[in-house]
Amino acid sequence: AQSVTQLGSHVSVSEGALVLLRCNYSSSVPPYLFWYVQYPNQGLQLLLKYTTGATLVKGINGFEAEFKKSETSFHLTKPSAHMSDAAEYFCAVRPMDSSYKLIFGSGTRLLVRP
Amino acid sequence: NAGVTQTPKFQVLKTGQSMTLQCAQDMNHEYMSWYRQDPGMGLRLIHYSVGAGITDQGEVPNGYNVSRSTTEDFPLRLLSAAPSQTSVYFCASRTTGHKNEKLFFGSGTQLSVL
């Protein structure tokens, strides 16, 4: 079965530092890939997605992610963290054999220190 | 636009009680779904629907029923609540267009079963 692994349930960075949140998926066929963000007491919002085409995907709020087929990874990065980036981030995959089932990772909580 | 609206925001039940979580969207989305969010487990799909009269099971359907009589509404029913159903529930919707994979989430219902 398809699965998504997010390394690190908590990541702490200083304001202005690089943000790197890791996501690996298990699939022999590259799925569609997503990053969602959840701010406290809110639902999830789409940050960015990869379906086909360019492997470097840019999203909202300065985030980007690179699809690496050889590493089965889709890590999320942002060059300079802002206090407002503190939230929980979820990687998700949509297997190619299922149009409607989105499988989420367990989430990574990003803490930004002043 | 209100987007995806969930009610209630909070609910406490006793074991064995029944209740319905309401979800409505005003974006004319064909696809609607219910997820539960538990600490360290991300979001898991309970049930989904691709249109009025069409529903299907997700990863964790046991103990939950759904129906879809209109495009706008997708209620989730707990027939006999159990403590294992204590969770935060999210409703989400999107169009079914090709590659239009952005899910819109409600703000969640926090359910406690005592």
Mutate to test the interface with A, among B29, B37, B46 (most CBs of A within 10 A): B37
Exposure string for A82-96, b = 16+ CB within 10 A, e = fewer = eeebbbbbbbbbbbe
Got the DSSP string for A7-43? Answer: S-SEEEEETTS-EEE--EEE-SS--EEEEEEE-TTS-
Residue whose C-alpha is closest to residue B32's, from A100, A42, A94? A100
- End-to-end alpha-carbon separation of chain B, Å? 36
Question: What is the number of other CB atoms lying within 10 angstroms of the CB of residue A99?
Answer: 13
Residues of chain A positioned with their CB less than 8 A from the CB of B59: 101, 103
Nearest CA in chain A to B31: A100
Got the DSSP string for B7-29? Answer: E-SEEEE-TT--EEEEEEESS--
User: Above 90 in pLDDT, residue B98?
Assistant: no
CA distance A94 to chain B (A): 9
B100 interfacial to chain A (CB closer than 8 Å): no
Residues of chain B positioned with their CB less than 8 A from the CB of A104: 35, 42-44
- End-to-end alpha-carbon separation of chain A, Å? 41
Residue whose C-alpha is closest to residue A11's, from A24, A26, A23? A23
CA distance B103 to chain A (A): 7
Determine the pLDDT at residue A42.
86
Residue whose C-alpha is closest to residue A55's, from A65, A46, A70, A47? A65
Determine the pLDDT at residue B37.
94
- The residue whose two tokens read 């209630």 is B8
At A97, the pLDDT band (50, 70, 90 cuts) reads confident
Q: Angle at CA B19, nearest 5°, toward B14 and B23?
A: 135
CA distance B17 to chain A (A): 26
What percent of chain B lies above the pLDDT cut of 90? 87
What are the pLDDT digits (tens) for A13-65? Answer: 999 999 999 999 987 777 889 999 999 888 899 999 998 888 899 999 999 99
Q: List the single range of A35-39, A48-52, B33-37, B104-108 with lowest mean pLDDT.
A: A48-52
* Cα B69 to Cα B87: distance, rounded to the nearest angstrom: 26
Q: Do B50 and A107 touch (CB under 8 A)?
A: no
Nearest CA in chain A to B10: A41
Closest Cβ opposite residue B101 in set A42, A51, A103: A51
Determine the pLDDT at residue B1.
63
Determine the pLDDT at residue B64.
97
At B96, the pLDDT band (50, 70, 90 cuts) reads confident
User: Above 70 in pLDDT, residue B87?
Assistant: yes
Distances (CA, A) of A89 to A22, A102, B32, B68: 10, 15, 22, 30
User: Above 70 in pLDDT, residue B84?
Assistant: yes
